[in-house]
A and B are shown apart, each in its own frame.
Chain A
Amino acid sequence: MDYTAFIRPEYVLMLLFAGALITYFAGKYSSMARYSLSLLFSGLALLMVALLYGKNTLSVWTPSITPNGISMYVGTNPLTWFFAIILASLSFLTIMYSIPIMKGKRMENWFYTLTLLLMGSMLGVVFSSDLLSFFIFWEMMTLSSYLLVTLAGKRSDKAALNYMILSTMGAYSMLTGITMLYVHFGTTEFSLLSAQIPGTPVNFLWLSLGLVAVGFLVKSAALPFYVWAAPAYSEAPDGFTPLFSGALSKLGAYGLFLFMYVIVGMSALIGMGSFRGVSSFGYAIALLGSITAFIATLYAIREDDIKRLLAYSSVSQVGYILMGLGIGTSLSVAGSLYHALNHALFKTVLFMGAGAIIQLTGTRKMSEMGGLATRMPITFLTMLISIFSLAAIPMTSGFGSKWLIYEAAINKGFVFIAPLAFVASVGSFLYSFRLLQAVFLGQLPDGLKDAKDPSLLVTIPMIALTSITVLFAIVPGVPLGAIASAESYMGIQPIQVDSLFYFRIGNSFGAYNALVVMTILLFAMLVAMIMFAFAGSKSKKVDQHDTYLSGEIYEHHSDLGLHYAANFYRPIERMFEPYLRLRLERTYDAFGRGYELLSEGIRRVYSGDVQTYVYYVIGFLGMLIILAGWWW
């Protein structure tokens, strides 16, 4: 039998949805069945997605659900594939990682069912080729991720509810936008829509695209909507956070790519107004992205909670992705897609590592950890490399993507966006250094003397993802090849990739030869290590508290928060303190509380007193009669 006939997106989705159901019922009876089935289904789906490479399909996936019989499509194309492969591989690896991490946790069976469901709906979002399927999968994704967050129990209640409310607000805004498009064009299929876009009134495009974009900005946790992100990422179960931050947060960017470049298209986007050759709409997105990146970095710097730190870091990195996406040049879009990939790689490793450490130490506070580098060498190394990638240090693939985005911003001479991005980048180095320092270096607390690396199921995904980070740093041509074809699908001039030697990214501004840079850096590191080896013999080991206690007895001051990770960046915090106090969360909270108060007032309309109700009736009738005589 020809198996290739089954390599179609609709079968991937069917497999996952059926798989979720089967896993639920089988998992009720045996935990072994639960683990193996969820690994099997997600692995099979990953394999199918991988085999979809280079294909272009489009097919009807379900009988219509609209009164006028509009069909619903799924399909795949280079842009879709690029995101699908990220989502599928992260889902598979996260499921593997969750087996030891989620063992014995609350509602464990539901966790696997929902993760498979989430994987299916995320892939559904990227595979869907019409507005209605897109929206349905989008809603399913929101719902299943909401449920996954709530699995953490009472602690996550508020975070989950806020996530759901904001996401639904975004989804409804999106629904308004897509129904506008549908009613105006009479079709929902993407290619038919984009064929009709030229000549559409500019105001209409601004309104519909703006409404749709709100939904995506919420999901990407961009500026006015980022308030859900840190609590939801950090309160979610440890087994879900890597997927949440690594994979799900990219879908907002995917949606923007889809609507801005595939459906509306570059020329219509420029037609909506442009600023230095960049569409105004895109510029707005880029600006929001850069401000988000900056603000979230400031929040990340002052966090002591490891998951919250990483959560804010996610928000800020997704800001970079939006920045590149909005600028919309060949270089920046490539950088944005590449950064999406890199962020997926390193943030997943970081959250996985954080989850493993939290399970080991039982705390999320970094000031209660320390010195784990020697005890957990694999975790340390993988997280170290990922942090390098996060901080865009050369030798990791994170450098390549940020470099592309900066270059695009500088090329366009964006004096506001580029500096923000730079400052945010310095900030990301600061917080990631702190993470490294506080968790892995310094003194080992007494309780953690016998800490050791987590089981293979945790370390294998981390090692796999880290090796990809390193590999792509040396051969950036591999991912950039896929990115270039996604770019040409979106109608953007594809980035030049030297396909023969996968080592060079070239463009007008300059060229980056990964192999040369790597060699030089390796050499420099070697020199540094040799120097350290000689100097190291002269160094003297002291207790860390000696540096600021000057030999006084530690016990007398143990309540002062003398851990080196406490108040690590006090000066910076002090500098930004007045601005950081203006938290957007308060505005949302105040609005929510205000509305609840208002509804408490509205409820009083129903006084429970029948005389009042009679007055209402008579008053209503009187009003109608006056209207009838006077106005009609």
Chain B
Amino acid sequence: MVNIDPTLMIGIPLFMGFLIPSVAIVWKNSPRYLAGFTILFNLIASTLLLIRSLNAPVISVLGGWQPPYGIVFVAGPLGSMLALLISSMTMLTWFYLPPHIKEGNETKFYMLFILLMAGATGMVLTGDLFNLFVFTEITSIASFSLLAYSRGKDEKEAVEATIKYMIIGSLSSAFFLIGIALLYGATGTLNMADLASKIPSANHNLVMMALAMIITGLGIEAEMFPLNGWTPDAYTGATHPVSVMFASVVVKAGFFALIRVVFLIFGAATEALQILMIFGLLTLFVGESSALRQTDLKRMLAYSSIGQMGLLLVAFSLNNQTALVGGLYAMLNHAIAKGLLFMAAGSFIFALGTRDISALNGMGKRMPVTSALFTIGAFSIMGLPFFGGFISKIVIIAGSMQAGTEGMLVAILILSASLIELVYFLRVVHRIWMREPEDDSRLKEAPFTQMFPMIVLAAFVFLMGIYPQAFFKVLIPAAQELLRGLGTMIGGA
């Protein structure tokens, strides 16, 4: 089997990012294809990587400098699974892009688009804390610029959202960096595995201070309450494919970075897990409750994303294998289903010209295919049987039950939040299919290139609901990787 070095999954997109503007001078239509090929490369590379990493973690050393001094890439089942998720979501979004990009600006857009992918892939693969910071920055800067990139009348809104996101985002990087500096001061190393082994003997106060800083910094990226003020505006202001990227790629990478730091470096520090649990529950409730009264479709989906991220935080901070598998399943399901929902919502809004939920009356008759796809995504998020969300919900509940009485309380809270979610999604789905439209003219469905990614995602939502064993094959080793920590992975290197 061909082995592709994980470094290339960062290197090639970065290189292409610089190549795209130069080629665009001579060949105007090239950016789209060059970006497509880059993403395809990453997709293939991450698939191969996932297959390899299921046997043993793939470690790649940069420039011959051995760790802990050099930078390493470490791809366990979890990291490679996320890399695959990132590249495939990027690929599908690439299909979805064309009508949503302002004409004449393709070059910059595609450049930033693959930089975003490169940054996110780096975030999940790197084995070095400072490197993680660098990739987080790449991802953030690419997201800021993509967010500002909006067409038509939403432009003003997008710029406003960008400024908010940038202000909060710079706080995020500042705190994250301070945290890294404190850790470096306390242990003298930045390699994650090395850190994990040195932290127990380091100055406790310093380490805890660093942990507080890092949780704050990465919590912003992971949409943790109360750090997620940027989220609703960003999702709403962004052009639709960028909202998809936020929900399925950027936030997932940020969340994974947070989990990695807490689980792998700090060895699942109980104090941190308690904080994550409490704020996870808060995030869940605040997100779902805020979504309940929304009249703006994208904003509703944004708040629902916040709620789901809260669910993920809760599932991970339960810290047992069942809950972790459930959490990872929910993460996959959310990336896929919410991506689908944002795409379908984007098609609705593109056709209707408004984000108002009440405009969706009778869309089942006006845009049947898109409506069906939206419904599939919504059913999965609601956790109905035969959709991915159902499996993640029952596995998380089973996991929380293993945590004794508190676990039971957690289960009840999760299910109550899930009930709120059911209510607002059901209202929208009900509107789409059951209400009579004011104007029942047939609207033009999205072209096949845009329909294709949605159909693929819908198929995956189904597959996750009816044949979850296929996913558990990857998720169970991934969960075990998290529980085991870094010690056994890199042999203390």
Contacts and interface: CB of A to CB of B under 8 A. Distances in A.
Nearest to A618: B171
Contacts of A600: 293
B205 A610 contact: no
Interface string B166-197: 01100100010000000000000000000000
Interface in A41-68: 63-67
A488 interface: no
Given A624-B216, A628-B212, A606 B229 contact: yes
B216 A168 contact: no
B436 A617 contact: no
B164 A179 contact: no
A625 B209 contact: yes
Contacts of A595: 289, 292
A605 B293 CA distance: 14
Contacts of A169: 419
A150 B220 CA distance: 41
Interface in B279-312: 285-286, 289-290, 292-294
Contacts of B402: 183
B24 interface: no
A566 interface: no
B427 interface: yes
Interface in A152-175: 153-154, 157, 160-161, 164-165, 168-169, 172-173, 175
A28 to B, nearest CB: 12
Nearest to A601: B289
B33 to A, nearest CB: 38
A350 to B, nearest CB: 28
A621 B212 contact: yes
Interface string A606-632: 111010111011111100110111011
A598 B211 CA distance: 33
Contact of B384 (A139, A596, A624): A139
Contact of A139 (B205, B216, B292, B385): B385
A136 interface: yes
Looking at A64, A135, A620, the one whose CB has the most chain B CB atoms below 10 A away is A620
A182 interface: yes
Contacts of A470: none
Contact of A67 (B227, B325, B386): B325
A608 B233 contact: yes
Interface in B47-86: none
B172 to A, nearest CB: 8
B398 A182 contact: yes
B426 to A, nearest CB: 6
Contact of B472 (A67, A135, A599, A619): A67
Contact of A63 (B285, B415, B467): B467
B352 interface: no
B434 A157 contact: yes
A593 to B, nearest CB: 11
Interface string A577-605: 00000000000000000011011101101
Interface string A64-81: 111101000000000000
Q: Is the interface of B mostly helix, strand, loop or mixed?
A: helix
Interface in B396-420: 397-398, 401-402, 408, 411-412, 415-416, 418-420
Looking at A160, A175, A631, the one whose CB has the most chain B CB atoms below 10 A away is A175
Contacts of A157: 430, 434
B219 interface: yes
Interface in A313-345: none
B43 interface: no
Nearest to B471: A67
B377 to A, nearest CB: 16
A168 B422 contact: yes
A276 to B, nearest CB: 32
Contact of A164 (B175, B219, B426): B426
Interface residues of B, number: 67
A629 B415 contact: no
A614 B168 contact: yes
Looking at B164, B215, B289, the one whose CB has the most chain A CB atoms below 10 A away is B289
A463 interface: no
Interface string B325-340: 1000000000000000
Given A596-B293, A610-B163, A613-B230, A632 B469 contact: no
A176 B398 contact: no
B435 A154 contact: yes
B439 interface: no
A165 B419 contact: yes
A139 B90 CA distance: 34
B471 to A, nearest CB: 9
A182 B400 CA distance: 12
A183 B401 contact: yes
Contact of B469 (A63, A612, A614, A617): A63
A179 B275 contact: no
Given A154-B436, A624-B216, A65 B469 contact: yes
A143 interface: yes
Interface string A137-157: 001100100000010011001
Contacts of A135: 394
B209 A628 contact: yes
A143 to B, nearest CB: 6
Given A150-B430, A620-B227, A627-B275, 14 more contacts: A65-B469, A67-B322, A67-B472, A143-B384, A175-B415, A176-B412, A183-B398, A595-B292, A610-B164, A610-B167, A613-B167, A613-B168, A620-B219, A625-B209
Q: Which 10 A-B pairs have the closest CB atoms?
A: A613-B229, A599-B289, A624-B212, A628-B208, A172-B415, A616-B226, A183-B401, A603-B290, A621-B216, A610-B164
Interface of A: 63-67, 69, 132, 135-136, 139-140, 143, 150, 153-154, 157, 160-161, 164-165, 168-169, 172-173, 175-176, 179-180, 182-183, 595-596, 598-600, 602-603, 605-608, 610, 612-614, 616-621, 624-625, 627-629, 631-632
Interface of B: 163-164, 167-168, 171, 175, 205, 208-209, 211-213, 215-216, 219-220, 226-227, 229-230, 232-233, 271, 275, 285-286, 289-290, 292-294, 322, 325, 384-386, 390-391, 394-395, 397-398, 401-402, 408, 411-412, 415-416, 418-420, 422-423, 426-427, 430, 434-436, 466-469, 472, 475-476
10 contacts: A66-B395, A67-B475, A161-B430, A173-B415, A176-B401, A602-B290, A620-B219, A621-B216, A628-B209, A632-B208
